């Protein structure tokens, strides 16, 4: 099982896969429930980040258990989805964005597998936090499907679960953030520590607070995802069909430390 899909808000259903089965994986950080199915002769892992009924808020997601479970299953490449608000007027509701950088404004999340003790301490490089090989494939396939997509974007990750204030959005804009969401950190960093290729497809569901003329609601986000979620599903399946081993260095991220060990 070398490929995994992590579905964010609005992407809970793995029915793009066949012969779907429930999987349970034990990790040092807790038990993980996910599903697996088949596509083009490959077994694919599917994980609903918030649970199948959006029952887990962003600040309480067990990110370490999720990534550890995928690594334990043999996953090497992860395509994740996120629903985001936009700070960049060129990135409009309905557009997809291939995030290439992040700004981390989370506060209380366990953000590493290495907290001293027997596992030691690791300082992982995140110059290119999102796998350039995966991003290239996703971009090329989106163009073939005539899906509106931006090749780059900076994701601002906040703690949640509340939406951001207009003053915060103004600050993030000054810092050159493009998108705002609540779930991409520490997920992307943990995937890098685990030496896995990871890319995020973000779908803009609304303009952020202070830019949008209306107050923000979760139902608005879910509705936007349901209207445009088909584009994400089409893109993910096209990318899986085109996936190959690339020239990235994701799987050597901890070579200085002797590699990642479960």
First to last CA, the chain: 16
Are 46 and 36 a contacting pair, CB within 8 Å? Answer: yes
Q: Is the dihedral of CA 238, 67, 96, 152 positive or negative?
A: negative
At 159, the pLDDT band (50, 70, 90 cuts) reads very high
- Burial of 33-46, coded b for 16+ CB within 10 Å and e otherwise, reads ebbbbebeeebbbb
pLDDT at residue 9 in the model: 66
pLDDT at residue 195 in the model: 98
pLDDT at residue 247 in the model: 78
Q: Regarding the domain with residue range 3-257, which homologous superfamily does it belong to in the CATH classification?
A: Nucleoside phosphorylase domain (3.40.50.1580)
Residue range 187-201, pLDDT digits in tens: 999 999 999 999 999
Q: How far apart (Å, rounded) are the C-alpha atoms in residues 111 and 108?
A: 9
Give the rounded percent of residues in the chain with a pLDDT score beyond 70. Answer: 97
Taking the domains of the chain in order of start, what are their residue ranges?
3-257
Instruction: Return the bridge partners of 156, or none.
Output: 103, 180
pLDDT at residue 52 in the model: 75
pLDDT at residue 217 in the model: 78
* 148-157: average pLDDT: 96
pLDDT at residue 245 in the model: 76
Residue 226 has pLDDT above 90, yes or no: no
Residue 114 has pLDDT above 90, yes or no: yes
At 13, the pLDDT band (50, 70, 90 cuts) reads low
Of 14-23, 123-132, 197-206, 251-260, minimum mean pLDDT range: 14-23
pLDDT at residue 220 in the model: 72
| 212 compared with 113, residue with greater pLDDT | 113
Instruction: Return the bridge partners of 101, or none.
Output: 154
pLDDT at residue 176 in the model: 97
Q: Write phi, then psi, for 193 (nearest 5 degrees).
A: -60, -35
Average confidence score pLDDT of the chain: 92
At 230, the pLDDT band (50, 70, 90 cuts) reads confident
Collapsed DSSP state (helix, strand, coil) of residue 199 = strand
* 133-139: average pLDDT: 96
At 12, the pLDDT band (50, 70, 90 cuts) reads low
At 16, the pLDDT band (50, 70, 90 cuts) reads confident
Look up tokens 């936009």; give the residue: 86
* 95-121: average pLDDT: 96
């Amino acid at each position: 099982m070398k490929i995994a899909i992590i579905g964010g808000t609005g992407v809970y259903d793995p029915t793009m896969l066949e012969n779907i089965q429930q999987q349970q994986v034990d990790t040092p950080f807790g038990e993980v429930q996910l599903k697996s199915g088949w596509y083009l002769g490959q077994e694919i892992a599917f994980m609903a980040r918030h649970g199948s009924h959006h029952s887990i808020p962003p600040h309480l997601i067990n990110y370490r258990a999720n990534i550890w479970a995928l690594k334990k299953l043999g996953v090497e490449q992860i395509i994740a989805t996120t629903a985001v608000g936009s700070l960049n007027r060129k990135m409009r509701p309905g557009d997809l964005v291939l995030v290439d950088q992040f700004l981390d404004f989370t506060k209380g999340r366990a953000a590493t597998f290495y907290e001293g003790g027997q596992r030691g301490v690791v300082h992982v490089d995140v110059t290119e936090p999102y796998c350039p090989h995966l991003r290239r494939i996703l971009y090329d396939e989106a163009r073939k499907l005539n899906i509106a997509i931006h090749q780059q974007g900076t994701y601002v990750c906040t703690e949640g679960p509340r939406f951001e204030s207009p003053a915060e959005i103004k600050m993030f804009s000054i810092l050159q953030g493009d998108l705002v969401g609540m779930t991409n950190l520490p997920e992307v960093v943990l995937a890098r520590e685990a030496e896995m290729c990871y890319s995020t497809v973000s779908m803009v569901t609304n303009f952020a607070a202070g830019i949008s003329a209306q107050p923000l609601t979760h139902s608005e986000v879910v509705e936007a995802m349901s209207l445009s979620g088909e584009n994400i599903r089409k893109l993910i399946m096209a990318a899986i069909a085109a996936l190959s081993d690339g020239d990235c260095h994701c799987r050597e991220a901890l070579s200085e430390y002797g590699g990642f060990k479960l």
